[in-house]
Amino acid sequence: MGERKQPSFGVNFFAGGAAGTIGAVVTCPLEVVKTRLQSSLYRANEVGLNTKNPLKLMFNHVNGVITILRDIRRVEGIRALWKGLTPNLIGIIPARSIHFGVYTQGKHYYSLLNNGVEDSYVHLISAGTASIATAVVTNPIWLIKTRMQLQSEEVAKRAVLPKYKNSFHCLTSVLKTEGLPGLYRGFSASMLGLVETAAQFAMYESFKKSLLNYRQKIADKSHPDGQAPKLTQLCKIEVKLILAWYDTTLASSSAKLIAAIATYPHEVLRTRLRQTPENGVRKYTGLWQSASLIYKQEGMAALYGGMTAHLMRVVPNAAILFVSFEFLSSFFNKL
């Protein structure tokens, strides 16, 4: 077995940040809707979903998301759909850069410790390591982003919440009123998110490998003599690129869909822990306290509040992220 070539941390660091930025800009409006539906301050705005018909339920969810998008634009203006984008982008660049940089390095080093074998366990541990490193650095940024997105004139007046002028004002206000620990509200819930990220990356690698093996089997059956049809070099490159993008899109979106649904309640808990204290009083103080309080006061459905908007954002975002990352990392590694 040949020696494993160490991936370039710099290339993967840059490619991860660039890919994350593209996805964040495109899907920011749905991120705003999702955050508001997760918050107790906006739960009353969610469309009624009292139906047992799954198709009608799905339609009501999607229609509710569209309605909220329209209402935000009408009441707060088009710019409100990108509220919190600045801290989001400030967070996305280091978050995706660190995550993909550490993940690719982790795959290399953990594979060496595993006798050169890169299996699902290596992917799980690498993704977990990358997630911890990312969360420690970026949690304060996500807290600011959450508070900016939850802010609107109507809710601020009703709940007597502080009005943040911009992201920097939000940062200084949190430090002044809640101290440094205030910037790490929701960190424990972020650690629960390790399960989602680790599962997503492990499934992505597995699905991508399965798709590649499937295509190889189809090719072997179609050309048992080993003689594939002759194609021009340009045509071969185009076909290979299309199949690679298709496989990456299918694998990444499927992995994210499964992981997001399975672990979604931690998203709601994280948002509640990060939301601005009402009248100076923190309603949600810890993971288990938050989960039990939400369940008692709002029911199990509240732990899945905003999930449709979340899935409408994260599934296409995952496809954009991984396709962009694979393309950029491949491109720069060839330079």
Q: How far is C-alpha 314 from the chain's CA centre?
A: 5
- What is the reported pLDDT for 165? 81
d(CA 271, CA 203): 26
- What is the reported pLDDT for 54? 59
Burial of 111 (0-12, 13-18, 19+ CB in 10 A): middle
Element (H, E) at 224: none
- What is the reported pLDDT for 153? 46
Length of the chain as a residue count:
335
| 151-159: long-range contacts, CB 8 A cutoff, minimum separation 24 | 151/83, 151/276, 152/75, 152/76, 152/80, 153/76, 154/75, 155/41, 155/42, 159/41, 159/278, 159/279
- What is the reported pLDDT for 1? 46
Burial of 334 (0-12, 13-18, 19+ CB in 10 A): exposed
- What is the reported pLDDT for 42? 58
* Chunked mean pLDDT (size 10), the chain, 335 residues: 76 96 89 75 53 64 82 88 82 92 96 92 94 90 81 55 80 91 84 85 94 80 61 56 86 96 88 79 86 90 81 91 93 84
- What is the reported pLDDT for 226? 57
- What is the reported pLDDT for 98? 95
d(CA 111, CA 55): 44
pTM value is: 0.75
Q: Are 124 and 198 in contact (CB under 8 A)?
A: yes
